[in-house]
Amino acid sequence: GHEIEDLEFGGVHSAGMPGPASKRRTPASPPGMADPHQLFDDTSSAQNRGYGAQRAPGGLGYPNTSASAQAAFLADPVSNMAMAYGSSLAAQGKELVDKNIDRFIPVTKLKYYFAVDTVYVGKKLGLLVFPYLHQDWEVQYQQDTPVAPRFDVNAPDLYIPAMAFITYILVAGLALGTQDRFSPDLLGLQASSALAWLALEVLAILLSLYLVTVNTDLTTIDLVAFLGYKYVGMIGGVLMGLLFGKTGYYLVLGWCCVSIFVFMIRTLRLKILAEAAAEGVPVRGARNQLRMYLTMAVAAAQPLLMYWLTFHLVR
Amino acid sequence: MAFTLYSLLQAALLCVNEPGIKSQLTNLIRSVRTVMRVPLIIVNSVAIVLILLFG
């Protein structure tokens, strides 16, 4: 009895350890403070003077502004008033947004798509790259609502697409930087063009689903999640292209294209061709054939877009 | 290559010949026209006034 008490006490004590340990870890030097002038390393020599002139006056948010310039900026009474007014305006706007947010963006439904854990993310990434051995693609239901992604590897989530999109933007910046073609506004350009293609895809697929009168439970957010999975393959391709040149890029991109194609077909078949696919019957009849062609078209658009959005990054 | 081209052609033919798609398209165009009629009148009037004022 005495040893057991000691072990329990040891267990409780070790559970309490991460607390002060994590507190000790946080006062590391914040990024940017070590080298204050390296926030955006621009490699385009022609724009060097322009950036130097641009960065000097507008240093409100950057930690690399010199302390004297910032102090002079804040001491001015007019700018003080302007800051106070601006912050009160922001607070009012925030109240308004908080009151009306649920009308425009279904926040509670979005939370479902981010209920993931590490095991799910690992299994899903493996499934995206190698979907050939997975047998059961049905999403499990629990009293009429689909189970959270944490408990079912087939459920769509928005965590992987969101993270993959951001990583794609960063990797695109990295790739452009290694070719001396980088400038910070190119990041915004890449992000908005990828988002525009995504929006176009979603609209086109929604339109074709409406025209073919498919009775499906595929929601718009589900569709965004499925279409966002291709960024994983794009990241892999660009990274391999950075490491091993064009052959590596084509190899990995080709592999990821085929995997995404198979993944999309097997996932969408269950959503669009629900009755036929559930029994495993080969599709017959004009309507089913049309739905099958629609699924194949959606799946074939993924490799095309993957190539279109990355080929200019690898030289 | 020939197989996929033929299946593309087949899909296009199926698409156009489906009675469901034609009625859905007409429905869509009619509803878009109904919804956009009033806003378009307003936007066009504003555009005409602005063009008259500012050439």
Nearest to A264 by CA among A140, A170, A137, A158: A137
Domain boundary among A95, A115, A135: A115
The DSSP code for A142 is E
Residue A303 lies in a domain: yes
Per-position pLDDT tens, chain A of length 315: 454 444 444 444 444 444 444 444 444 444 444 444 333 445 666 544 544 444 444 444 455 555 666 666 667 888 889 999 999 999 999 988 888 887 777 788 888 899 999 999 999 999 999 999 998 888 888 887 888 888 889 999 999 999 999 999 999 999 999 999 899 999 999 999 999 999 999 999 999 999 887 778 888 999 999 999 999 999 999 999 999 999 999 999 999 999 999 999 999 988 888 766 555 566 566 778 888 888 999 999 999 999 999 999 988
**Burial of A203 per CB tally in 10 Å (0-12, 13-18, 19+):** exposed
pLDDT for A284 equals 63
Q: Do A290 and B15 touch (CB under 8 A)?
A: yes
Is residue A160 domain-shared with residue A106, that is, in the same domain? no
Q: Do A290 and B28 touch (CB under 8 A)?
A: no
Does B32 reach chain A within 8 Å, measured CB to CB? no
Backbone dihedral region for residue A213 (phi beyond 0: left; psi -120 to 50: alpha; all else: beta): left
Does B29 reach chain A within 8 Å, measured CB to CB? no
Residue A125 lies in a domain: no
Does B49 reach chain A within 8 Å, measured CB to CB? no
Q: A289 is in which domain, residue-wise?
A: 156-311
d(CA A151, CA A117): 9
Give B14's contacts in chain A (Cβ within 8 Å). Answer: 286, 289-290, 293
Task: List the single residue in A211, A289, A297 with the smallest CB-CB distance to B21.
Answer: A211
pLDDT for A34 equals 44
* DSSP assignments along A213-251, one per residue: T------HHHHHHHHHTHHHHHHHHHHHHHHHHHHHHHH
Nearest CA in chain B to A292: B11
pLDDT for A148 equals 86
Give B24's contacts in chain A (Cβ within 8 Å). Answer: 210-211, 213
Residue A22 lies in a domain: no
| Number of domains composing chain A | 2
Torsion, CA A43, CA A46, CA A50, CA A53, rounded to 10: 70
Give A210's contacts in chain B (Cβ within 8 Å). Answer: 24, 28
State whether the Cα torsion A151-A227-A114-A240 is positive or negative.
Answer: positive
Q: Do B11 and A290 touch (CB under 8 A)?
A: yes
Distance from CA of B37 to the nearest CA of A (A): 21
Sequence-distant (6+) residues with CB within 8 A of A234 are A164, A168, A253, A256, A306, A309, A310
DSSP SS3 for A141:
strand
Residue A70 lies in a domain: no
Mutate to test the interface with A, among B3, B17, B18 (most CBs of A within 10 A): B18
d(CA A228, CA A158): 8
Is residue A222 domain-shared with residue A89, that is, in the same domain? no
pLDDT for A24 equals 46
Q: In which band, very low, low, confident or very high, does the pLDDT at B1 lie, cut at 50, 70 and 90?
A: low
List, in sequence order, every residue forming a beta bridge with A146; answer none if it has no partner. Answer: A141
Q: In which band, very low, low, confident or very high, does the pLDDT at B3 lie, cut at 50, 70 and 90?
A: low
Task: List the single residue in B15, B18, B24 with the smallest CB-CB distance to A210.
Answer: B24
Distance from CA of B11 to the nearest CA of A (A): 7
Nearest to A230 by CA among A203, A198, A200, A208: A198
Nearest CA in chain B to A288: B14
Instruction: Express as a percent the part of chain B with pLDDT over 90.
Output: 55
Residue A307 lies in a domain: yes
Mutate to test the interface with B, among A206, A287, A292, A293 (most CBs of B within 10 A): A293
Is residue A103 domain-shared with residue A207, that is, in the same domain? no
pLDDT for B44 equals 97
Q: What is the interface size between A and B, counted as CB pairs within 8 Å?
A: 24
Is residue A230 domain-shared with residue A306, that is, in the same domain? yes
Distance from CA of A67 to the nearest CA of B (A): 48
Q: Is this complex's ipTM strictly greater than 0.85? A: no
Is residue A213 domain-shared with residue A294, that is, in the same domain? yes
